[in-house]
Structure 1
Amino acid sequence: MESRRSDRKFLQKVYEESGNSIVLLTTASISQEGNFLKDFLKDKKTFYYQCEYASPKLQLALLQKQVSVQCQQRLSHDSYDECFSRIRSGDASKLVVVIDHVERIGKKNTEFFQALVKLRNKQLYPGPVLILMVASSLTWNHRDLREWLGEELCNSIDHRRSLADISFLELVRALEDYSVKDSVQTYGVIGGTPEYVRIWDSTFSFKENVCRLILSPSGGLYDAAERVITSELREPQVYNTILYAMATGKEKLNDIYEATGYSRPKISVYLKNLAAFDVIEKVMSFDAGGWDHAKKGIYRIKNNFISFYYHFIYSNRSALFTMSSEEFYDTYIAPGLATYMQRAFVDVCREYLSLLNLMGKLPLHISKMGTWVGKEGTVDLVGENEIREYVAAICNWSMDAISVQDYENLQKNLKLARIRTKVVYLFSATSFTDELKALAEADASIVLVDMRSL
């Protein structure tokens, strides 16, 4: 996958640099980075330690054990300094020291972090070393690192890198046996999480993958959404209640209040926490002047996999226990899947327009893109350049065909939003009516995009 190749190239470049360095590697999504690390560490001299949730005394004992096992060293003092002074590469090659799950080290364990600084500064180990501090918890991306790591270690971090999700285009390339429709549906379920894409087998149908990976107790993604929420956030019952309300269409603070019964101040705090972990987002309507007609204070679940789970599975877990995964899919997922996939299709179309923009194939160079959410309707995509010229788009996933009426509704919403476009793009996963095709042929400002050409 291209994003992972880019990440590996980055780490390889740092590895080949002369001197010692510390890299803080964090995940930008809910995922596991184990396979990525193994690929990078292949054929390199490595000392690997996975931190555990433990007291400083036990953490030290666990590290000492790994030094003894991996480096065949006998330790005589209870100190982190001695641990890192005894690691060895065995030759003149650079040693990669991996401190995995570094977020499990408590703030009060300053000796651990001070020892890493000494290691980088060649005060403990004379040979060349690359120190990879890997934070696999979403919380690490949003903590005050200076408070957590201390001033000295923060100043000693040479590089920071987040492992990003892959794009839809990369997902299509990875699932080479899938049609574009199957790929869009897959993206709508698992998003661009590389490790989820890795286990999604395109030799199985979309339904078969959902059944075997998500609905089956032996599946790799069974209960994955709830595991993330319970491992990252306290009071999962509150977060579950709020996320379920959002998944069932409650998108404003007052709607969530009425659905959950929690106070508005309490909900605001929990929404803020969920947003900090990239689980939800506040949707800001594209501001082009039609603010009076725009909806305000809209929230939505940002993470595709968590959204899918709370939309289709969370409230039906009892049925999943009594049914086969195939029966559950047919009963609870299939009937609402087409409507649900609209949001994923909009994201795919957004990426398509961004790619055209990058290639210089739009009538103007977009510097900002978003969605206009109106009180009477929505413009799925709005793009603006630096001199406030616009393109806009609507995206149809489930309607039989986009019609002239749909185009006229778009124009009505654009007028309410006070957006005058140079070109409008009409994306459809199905088709277009003959009347709309004729209109587009006569008007160059109307561009029809069939999903099969994406």
Structure 2
Amino acid sequence: MSQQKFIDREEEMEILKNQYDMEGSGLIVIYGRRRVGKTELINNFMSGHGLYFLATNEGDTENIRNFQKLLSEFLNDKSIEYAYYNDWYSLFSSIVNNKNFIEKTKKSKIIIAIDEFPYLIEANRSIPSIFQKIYDSFLKNNNVFLILSGSSVSIMENDVLSYKSPLYGRRTGQIRIKPLKFKFINNFLKYNIEDLCNSYFVLGGIPEYILKFNTNLSFWNNLKNNFLNRGSYLYEEAEFLLRGELREARNYFTILKAIAIGNHRLNEICSYTGMDKSMVSKYIDVLISLDFIEPEIPFGSDKNFKRRLYWIKDNYLSFWFRYILPNKSEIENSRTERVFNYIKNDFNTYAGEKFEYLIRSLIYDGLTGKYYDNVSRWWGKNKLKNKGNDIEEIDIVAYSSERNELLFGECKWTNKKISASLIDKLMEKSKILLKNYNNCNVIYALFSKSGFIENKNTIKNKNIILMDLNDVKNFIEKNKS
């Protein structure tokens, strides 16, 4: 992956350093979806020291040959490059007996990083067993730090990390690399806070995707150039990503499209896709394990709540399946202006959903000046009303057990200022949940894209919070580390 910036990986770097500094050998597994920044993390950690090898899908013979060449340069021993090794085991057997290797291990711990390890497994299903023997026979008792990295989350979890894997029990640590948080996006894009939000809503926290936007162009021009041009990277990436990770990709595509256009309940997804419940449930479980979608239950519900909703967690996939896949015929036939206008007209609705999710994540990180144990959404029937049949919703419900405090919040992504009087409706809806909490401290909050009709500084009630995008901007600027 070609990145120009290395941002927000302090925790992962600390884990690697601690693992490296431990006495004896080490084996750490690093994994995460394509383009999330694994290679950049490894290269920054190694800083030119050690041996970094990027595996390919060419099979054992070619990968061994390529590894030999790098190893020959690393150990300054040409004989290694020209030797013949018919398998990985014999290659590593030779390495540990090489005098230059022995001298290096006496001076410091040697790092050997094998990136895209799943390519080796796909070409040879015995690779986990082979590397288990290599580690036990040659590396475990040497001053070596082995890194196995991969983008195929399913292969890394099933063939490297799982209990059934031959490598299980050998690793001394593992890191699953997550996308960057929103607060780091302005390290890449010099936009105002609204367009930083817009960019995050369509790109998520994947560094490689963010780097495709030209900060000298407007958000909308970047969106048009990168999503609506045939052959552009972001126009094609979703298909490469899913086809590289999933079998029966067509069924996953249909499910993701169903969710993206508004079918969030299991029965709705089944109805849209025409697949039976057991099949859809199986596919959904896979998508959850890959961090592509996530289930949602109302605040305060039992974990076995059955009528859960499913949302696409990955912003890039969410945008792509909502706007690009359904309009591919139009784009392929160069009718991009029509698609572009449709996206612009509908975007506030899409962004409103993403804004809610963003604010919830920022509240969890301390946006309001406090921290909460649980931050989620609530919906359900209002049993306090006469009929009690209408479904009501509260965008944000956050709870702190330490302070016995509840926060109720509403998010508004509109081009007009909103009135603080919306707090009154929020207070009314909150009664449904407050009856379950005795003597609880209560905070009410409104989060508005365009600000408020009233001067928020005149609101003196300490239990009412009004925040706009400038407040979000100030928060992320103070909390970069």
Range of TM-score over shorter length: 0.7 to 0.9
Aligned to 2:344: 334
Q: d(CA) in 2 for partners of 1:114 and 1:15?
A: 21
Q: Does 1:111 align with 2:116?
A: no
- SS of residue in 2 equivalent to 1:402: coil
Superposition CA RMSD, Å: 2.9
CA positional deviation for 1:285: 0.7
2:478 paired residue number: none
Deviation at 1:245, TM superposition (A): 1.3
Change (3 A) 1:141 1:335: farther
Distance 2:94 2:361 in 1: 49
Q: Secondary structure at the match of 2:408?
A: strand
**Distance in 2, Cα, partners of 1:366 & 1:331:** 40
Of the three residues 292, 311, 316, the one matched with 2:322 is 311
| Rounded Cα–Cα distance in structure 2 between residues aligned with 1:287 and 1:399 | 32
Q: How far has the Cα of 1:83 moved from its partner?
A: 0.9
1:100 CA drift (Å)? 1.8
Q: Tell me whether 39-48 or 132-141 shows the greater mean CA deviation.
A: 39-48
**Residue 254 and residue 146 in structure 1: after superposition, are their counterparts in 2 closer, same or farther (change >3 A)?**
closer
Other-structure match for 2:187 = 173
Instruction: Give the TM-score normalised by the residue count of structure 2.
Output: 0.81
Give the whole-Å Cα distance in 1 for the aligned partners of 2:407 and 2:164: 45
Counterpart of 2:409 in 1: which secondary structure? strand
SS of alignment partner, residue 417 of structure 2: coil
Residues 368-387 of structure 1 mapped to structure 2, 5 A cutoff: 368-375=374-381, 376-386=391-401
Give the direction of change, closer, same or farther, for the CA distance of 1:40–1:262 in structure 2 (3 Å limit): same
CA 1:118/1:206 → structure 2, altered by over 3 Å: closer, same or farther? farther
Q: Say whether 1:46 aligns with 2:62.
A: no
Structure 1 unaligned regions, length at least 5:
none
Seen in structure 2, the aligned counterparts of structure 1 residues 236 and 81 have a Cα distance that, compared at 3 Å, is closer
TM-score by length of 1: 0.85
Distance change (3 Å), C-alpha of 1:7 and 1:450:
same
Q: Please say if residues 189 and 304 of structure 1, whose CA atoms lie closer than 8 Å, have aligned partners that are also in contact.
A: yes
| Partner deviation per Cα, 1:253-304 (whole Å, 9 max, x = no partner) | 1212222222222222222221121111111110179x9xx99321111111
> Offset of 1:140 from its aligned partner?
4.0
Match of 2:282 in 1: 269
The alpha-carbon distance between structure 1 residues 443 and 271, as it changes in their structure 2 partners (threshold 3 A), is same
Paired residues of 2:52 and 2:115 also in contact (CA < 8 A): no
Q: How does 1:329-408 map to 2 (within 5 A)?
A: 330-356=340-366, 361-362=369-370, 365-375=371-381, 376-386=391-401, 388-398=404-414, 400-404=416-420, 406-408=422-424
Q: 1:446 aligns with which of 449, 453, 464?
A: 464
Of 77, 92, 99 in structure 2, the residue corresponding to residue 84 of structure 1 is 92
Of 308, 317, 341, 1:297 maps to 308
* Separation in 2, partners of 1:33, 1:200: 21
Aligned twin of 2:28:
23
Task: Write the distance in 1 (CA, Å) between the matches of 2:67 and 2:314.
Answer: 39
Are the equivalent residues in 2 in contact too, given 1:372–1:378 (CA < 8 A)? yes
In the TM superposition, what is the alpha-carbon distance from 1:396 to its structure 2 partner?
0.8
* Paired positions, count: 432
Q: Which residue matches 2:66?
A: 66
* Cross-structure match for 1:214: 227
> 1:218: how far off?
4.5
Is 1:28–1:141's contact at 8 Å kept on the other side of the alignment? no
Rounded Cα–Cα distance in structure 1 between residues aligned with 2:285 and 2:244: 17
Residue 410 (structure 1) aligns with: 426
**Identical counterparts, % of pairs:** 23
**Cα offset for 1:228?**
1.6
Alignment partner of 1:8 out of 13, 37, 49: 13
- Is contact 1:26–1:140 with CA below 8 Å preserved after alignment? no
